């Protein structure tokens, strides 16, 4: 079972005013890397408006989003969570003994 935590902030005025950090805790480092590998191939559709950085450490997937407007952040985050959910459910269903 994966656990999810998110934090949305706005910092000092820059081009990338809107930020969101996502942390997903998986049962193992192996599962976190599998999800990372599945999601890393999908690049942002508007890289001039949204940046996404992912990393894995200690069985956790960390994702940082930065956007120029709140609506771009929301759209990117929402689409990402949809595919993250799909990848996680696929591993839960077919990755026998991994989760």
pLDDT tens readout for residues 58-94: 999 999 999 999 999 999 999 999 999 999 999 888 8
pLDDT, residue 74, reads 96
Residue 71 falls inside a structural domain: yes
Q: At what angle do helices 70-94 and 29-40 cross, to 10 degrees?
A: 130
Residue 88 falls inside a structural domain: yes
pTM: predicted TM-score of the whole model, two decimal places: 0.81
Q: Which string of b and e fits 2-33 if b means at least 16 CB within 10 Å?
A: beeeeeeeeeeeeeebbbbebebebbeeebbe
- Domain span at 82: 3-94
Lookup: tokens for 51: 């940046």
Lookup: tokens for 40: 């890393």
pLDDT tens readout for residues 12-44: 556 888 999 999 999 899 999 999 999 999 899
Residue 99 falls inside a structural domain: no
pLDDT, residue 15, reads 82
Total domains in the fold of the chain: 1
By C-alpha distance, which of 62, 4, 5 is closest to 29? 62
Decide if pLDDT at 96 tops 70: no
């Amino acid at each position: 079972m994966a656990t999810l935590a998110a934090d949305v902030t706005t910092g000092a005025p820059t081009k990338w005013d809107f930020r969101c950090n996502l942390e997903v805790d998986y049962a193992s480092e192996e599962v976190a890397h599998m999800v990372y590998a599945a999601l890393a191939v999908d690049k942002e559709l508007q890289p001039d408006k949204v940046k996404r950085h992912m990393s894995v450490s200690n069985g956790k997937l960390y994702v940082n989003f930065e956007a120029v407007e709140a609506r771009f952040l929301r759209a990117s985050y929402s689409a990402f969570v949809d595919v993250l959910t799909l990848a996680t459910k696929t591993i839960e269903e077919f990755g026998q003994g991994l989760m």
